[in-house]
């Protein structure tokens, strides 16, 4: 049976103002520990919505709930959605768990909310997907990505690339100042392993995210405190941030550009490791990146091959490759491997 705090709420809208008109239905459609990342993302989304001002009675959660207390979980009773991340499981309501996570209950909730909130009338809809009809979506914070999941998770993926992209963006920014279109563009840039798609009404793209997911008051004066000093000092956008007036549009734009650049660099790190893993059929790719040739050996055995790889890497990975070229050593590995 559903373990639900909602009774008539599933078919009635609240009368407590704007917050009462925002509803969220969070669904993790998988079970078993190997699919840890799906329930981790649902729990993370719940935390963002609560900090954004949505009330528990307006957030409906579907999750099998077999992860937090699973014997395989190295942190019993805790779920994280990124390496070193905080517990996102704490406080998550148990509306529909176990076998109650099914199509029938999901449709009843969706149809009930539509009837209660819109009175059965037509409603403009906007949806975004992690991939197109032919793609798969891919995990992030896994054992073979960068950064990897902690060793005690034995290579388990803590999140999905697409979902983590919008969750982390929402967690950082003041949602009163970011539109649906702006977040879509950020998420699409960061999601490199699949083709992010959007469907439905284009008129909603100008809406600010606060209308849908609220905004954390702590993000009112968004800062880059979460980034290390060395990370900021190595980026030209930090100069623009320091020179722009506090709370000015110029400063906000510079902060957003800096975050995009950080995401871009993070994606390059992840792509290089994935290329090594797949191309060389190696699992210890982090060790490969730090390995060196024996003293007295030339840098590579086939310079033509090496130069071709560098050129291809620059052409295929875009113009902003100054940071990416720190992985010239990884290209050495390919050149050496090809000559063997």
Question: Which of 123, 148, 172 marks a domain boundary?
Answer: 123
Question: Which of 99, 123, 147 marks a domain boundary?
Answer: 123
Predicted confidence at residue 11, as pLDDT, reads 32
Using the Cα atoms of residue 232, residue 233, residue 237 and residue 242 in order, give the sign of their dihedral: positive
* Residues spanned by the domain of 310: 269-339
259 in a domain, yes or no?
Answer: no
Predicted confidence at residue 333, as pLDDT, reads 54
Identify the H or E element spanning 232: helix 229-233
Find the farthest-apart pair of alpha carbons in the chain and give their distance in angstroms, rounded: 78
Question: How many distinct structural domains can be found in the chain?
Answer: 2
| CATH code, 83 | 3.40.50.1460
170 in a domain, yes or no?
Answer: no
205 in a domain, yes or no?
Answer: no
Looking at residues 105-112, what average pLDDT do you find? 90
Question: Which of 72, 89, 123 marks a domain boundary?
Answer: 123
261 in a domain, yes or no?
Answer: no
51: nearest Cα among 91, 85, 14, 11: 91
pLDDT tens across 24-54, in order? 999 999 999 999 999 999 999 999 999 999 9
285 in a domain, yes or no?
Answer: yes
User: What band does 322 get if pLDDT is binned at 50, 70 and 90?
Assistant: low
202 in a domain, yes or no?
Answer: no
Number of neighbouring beta carbons within 10 Å of residue 135: 14
Looking at residues 237-254, what average pLDDT do you find? 69
User: What band does 296 get if pLDDT is binned at 50, 70 and 90?
Assistant: low
Looking at residues 309-316, what average pLDDT do you find? 70
Q: Which long-range contacts (CB under 8 A, 24 or more apart) does 75-81 make?
A: 79/36, 79/39, 79/40, 79/43, 80/40, 80/158, 81/37, 81/40, 81/41, 81/43, 81/44, 81/141, 81/158, 81/159, 81/164, 81/167
Is residue 160 over pLDDT 90? yes
User: What band does 267 get if pLDDT is binned at 50, 70 and 90?
Assistant: confident
Contact between 37 and 78 under an 8 Å Cβ cutoff? The reply is: no
Question: Can you give the pTM of this predicted structure?
Answer: 0.63
110 in a domain, yes or no?
Answer: yes
Predicted confidence at residue 66, as pLDDT, reads 97
Predicted confidence at residue 131, as pLDDT, reads 87
Is residue 154 over pLDDT 90? yes
Predicted confidence at residue 290, as pLDDT, reads 52
Predicted confidence at residue 22, as pLDDT, reads 85
Predicted confidence at residue 3, as pLDDT, reads 41
Looking at residues 74-86, what average pLDDT do you find? 93
81 in a domain, yes or no?
Answer: yes
Predicted confidence at residue 200, as pLDDT, reads 85
Average pLDDT taken over every residue of the chain: 76
Give Cα 308 distance to the centre of its chain. Answer: 33
Looking at residues 86-97, what average pLDDT do you find? 94
Instruction: Identify the residue whose tokens are 């969706």.
Output: 110
């Amino acid at each position: 049976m559903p373990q639900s705090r909602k009774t008539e709420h599933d078919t009635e809208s609240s009368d407590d103002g704007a917050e009462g008109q925002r509803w969220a239905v969070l669904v993790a459609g998988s079970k078993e520990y190997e699919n840890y990342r799906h329930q981790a993302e649902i729990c993370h989304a719940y935390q963002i919505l609560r900090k954004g001002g949505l009330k528990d009675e307006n957030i409906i959660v579907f999750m099998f709930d077999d992860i937090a207390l699973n014997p395989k979980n190295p942190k019993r009773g805790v779920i994280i959605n990124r390496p070193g991340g905080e517990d996102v499981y704490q406080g998550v309501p148990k509306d529909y768990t176990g076998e109650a996570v099914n199509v029938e209950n999901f449709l009843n909730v969706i149809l009930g909310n539509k009837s209660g909130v819109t009175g059965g009338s037509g409603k403009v809809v906007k949806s975004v997907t992690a991939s197109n009809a032919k793609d798969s979506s891919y995990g992030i914070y896994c054992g073979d990505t960068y950064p990897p999941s902690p060793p005690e998770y034995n290579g388990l993926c803590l999140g999905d690339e697409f979902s983590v992209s919008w969750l982390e963006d929402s967690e950082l920014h003041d949602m009163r100042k970011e539109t649906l279109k702006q977040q879509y563009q950020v998420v699409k840039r960061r999601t490199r392993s699949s083709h992010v798609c959007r469907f439905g009404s284009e008129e909603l793209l100008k809406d600010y995210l606060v209308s849908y997911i609220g905004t954390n008051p702590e993000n009112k004066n968004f800062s880059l405190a979460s980034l290390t000093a060395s990370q900021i000092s190595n980026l030209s956008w930090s100069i623009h941030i320091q020179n722009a007036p506090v709370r000015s549009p110029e400063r906000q734009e510079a902060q957003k550009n800096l975050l995009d650049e950080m995401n871009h660099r993070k994606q390059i790190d992840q792509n290089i490791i994935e290329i090594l893993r797949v191309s060389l059929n190696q699992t210890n790719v982090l060790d490969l990146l730090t390995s060196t040739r024996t003293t007295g050996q030339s840098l590579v055995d086939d310079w033509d091959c090496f130069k071709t790889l560098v050129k291809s890497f620059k052409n295929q990975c875009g113009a902003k490759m100054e940071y990416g070229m720190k992985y010239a050593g990884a290209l050495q590995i390919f050149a050496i491997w090809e000559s063997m």
